[in-house]
Amino acid sequence: MKERDHELITVSQAARLRGVTPQAIYELIERGRLRSVERYGLTLVFKSEVERFAPLPPGRKAKKG
């Protein structure tokens, strides 16, 4: 792994990078789709993992049925 792969960013930074809310990042962490570490009282995520997620389509999800 390159050094950049180990770069840690805050949940807020990750949310801005992906164009989502911090809550959406926390949900990814809770579902095990994004690794996190606790440092200095902050939840941090790996920038490289955040960047690997496909961009989310704009708008609301379609209703089923």
Instruction: Tell me the pLDDT band of 60, cut-offs 50, 70 and 90.
Output: confident
pLDDT at 57: 64
Please give the Cα distance from 43 to 36 (Å, whole number).
6
Q: What is the pTM of this model?
A: 0.73
Cα 5–18–55 angle (5° rounding)? 95
Domain ranges of the chain: 3-52
pLDDT at 3: 42
